[in-house]
Structure 1
Amino acid sequence: MYSWIEIQNKTHTFSVWDEFHAFMEDLDLRMKRAGYVSKTNVVLHDVEEEDERMVRYHSERLAVACGIMRVPQGKPIRVIKNLRVCEDCHSAIKCLAKIKGRVIILRDNNRFHHFKDGSCSCGDYW
């Protein structure tokens, strides 16, 4: 499971559990303040509240976090994912687009998702 983001003609590859933990913790706190609730039902086994990190560190969220940190404000963040984006990451990226005021374009193996102002071009049908 991989995601990619290109920044200044350099491609960065992310897999689950890559190290953006401190920045992700800050983003998660902001998202929760904005009303985001993690959808741990996408994990194929029982998950306790403290183990929300199983979905928190999916590769596409890490790539988006990198884009937020490194892509200049006003430019879209473009991420490519080799699998279909999960429901939790889809909701999280909608929230991130809203609270960070960013346009995020995610190409998964099914379609393009254009996130802006807390909504997605797919109409939540992905």
Structure 2
Amino acid sequence: MDSTPEDPKSLTEEQWRERLTAEQFHILREAGTERAYTGKYDKFYENGEYMCAACGTRLFISAAKYNSGCGWPAFTRPAEAETVEERRDISFGMIRTEVLCGKCGSHLGHVFPDGPPEEGGLRYCINSAALEFVPEGE
């Protein structure tokens, strides 16, 4: 499911604005964040896959999603390691690890070391607006 046939990393800001809603553009392309507890996938637990809202890349699966109580969808791991990139984020006076789509470079959220220990100890805290859900079997 790739809605962006050309190399998404080569798209201009104007092309991204045409493809995304204003909220998606702010989060995915400007590293914004939706308000806690407002995203459509925060308390959403259907079976399926979560794709990048910018380029359609499969990022997370429902089996890795859990209720962390943080106010954003939380996952213990990406669908495959190469589908996400991580980089140091020192914005807002904090040191965090930013999570980006491995294909288009869009901002997804952050990863923290306070996830379930039995699942590897990571919490991928991801903005709902950065994701599109595809139900199992579709």
What TM-score range do you get, normalising by the shorter chain? under 0.3
Q: For the pair shown, which has the larger CA radius of gyration, 1 or 2?
A: 2
Q: TM-score, structure 2 length as denominator?
A: 0.26
Q: TM-score of the superposition, structure 1-length normalised?
A: 0.28
